[in-house]
Amino acid sequence: MAGPKLSRRALLQGALASLGILALPRAARAFGDEGAFHPRPLLTGSSRLEGVRSSAPARWARELRNRTSAPSRLDPAPVRADDPALLAEPFVYWLGDREVGELSVAEVAGLRRFFSQGGVMFVDDGNPESGAFLRSVKRELSRVLPDAAPLPLGQDHVIFHSFYLLRRPVGRVEGPSHLEGIVRGGQAQVVLSSHDVAGALARGPSGIWSVPVSPRGEEQREHAIRLAVNIAMYVLCSTYKDDQVHAPSLMRRRALDNP
């Protein structure tokens, strides 16, 4: 006779436990800041994290913890592309709504080291109606990773079923029916979105959503949040599985697969 069915949460917790990343009770998170999902905003040139979307990284981390019990940093700290701290953790979140300037030599070198050591990046265009941000990011990434170019990530990609089953990506806008990815060593090390996921995540101090979502309103916002959760789970399960607690050691190991 078949055994009882397990809930999605129970399955997730079993998977996380097998990877050694099951969240501890809140009063005993010895795991703490070192192994948790940390959507660090990437800063380049003279850019700063400001405006209505500046709350999105923290909201992303909170939604992940609330919905999956996966560990996450609720106070994401920005990191600059030329800062050695970039290499301390395996994920970074590049969001913006305007064209980015040319990366400095030090920034190109820093990002190249980040990717060579197995780092993963999510690129999120906050103004896809213009597309200037994403076009300029692609231009600069072609200097960092001249051996690879963005390709569409089809519906069968693991991102679309890493936690929720999703048919397509959405954010503040419906946008194209696919994400793009720069795949190296068999893994999408860069995931690019023209949907303004940050706009759908952003929330003000009062708890009210900061930016309206269209064309499908709150239903679409929910699916955008689910996409963010899926991206986080993709990062956790693909990036942290070898050694969740020691990210720098993990990245050195993964570098062997990403020359």
* Minimum mean pLDDT range among 2-11, 54-63, 110-119, 214-223: 2-11
Quote the pLDDT of residue 19: 40
Confidence of residue 34 (pLDDT cuts 50, 70, 90): low
pTM for the model stands at 0.82
Domain ranges, ordered by start, for the chain:
36-253
Asked whether residue 13 carries a pLDDT value surpassing 90, the answer given is no
Give the integer Cα–Cα distance in Å for 233 and 96: 22
Confidence of residue 69 (pLDDT cuts 50, 70, 90): confident
Does domain 36-253 correspond to CATH entry 3.90.550.10?
no
Give the integer Cα–Cα distance in Å for 178 and 106: 32
Asked whether residue 28 carries a pLDDT value surpassing 80, the answer given is no
> What is the DSSP annotation of 69-129?
---B-SSPPPEETT-GGGGGSSEEEEEESS---PPPHHHHHHHHHHHHTT-EEEEEES-TT
* Residue 68 parent element (H or E): helix 56-68
Spatial contact of 39 and 91, defined as CB atoms under 8 Å apart: yes
**Mean pLDDT within 95-120:** 96
**Mean pLDDT within 145-150:** 96
Q: Rg for the chain (alpha carbons), in Å?
A: 18
Q: With pLDDT > 90 as the criterion, what percentage of the chain qualifies? A: 72
Residue of 31, 42, 41, 43 lying closest to 72 (CA atoms): 31
* Minimum mean pLDDT range among 60-64, 152-156, 251-255: 251-255
Mean of pLDDT over the chain: 84
Quote the pLDDT of residue 237: 84
Asked whether residue 24 carries a pLDDT value surpassing 70, the answer given is no
**Mean pLDDT within 59-73:** 94
pLDDT tens digits, 159-208: 999 999 999 999 999 999 999 999 998 899 999 999 999 999 999 988 89
Quote the pLDDT of residue 57: 98
Q: 120-125 and 42-43 as β-strands: parallel, antiparallel, unpaired? A: unpaired
Asked whether residue 16 carries a pLDDT value surpassing 70, the answer given is no
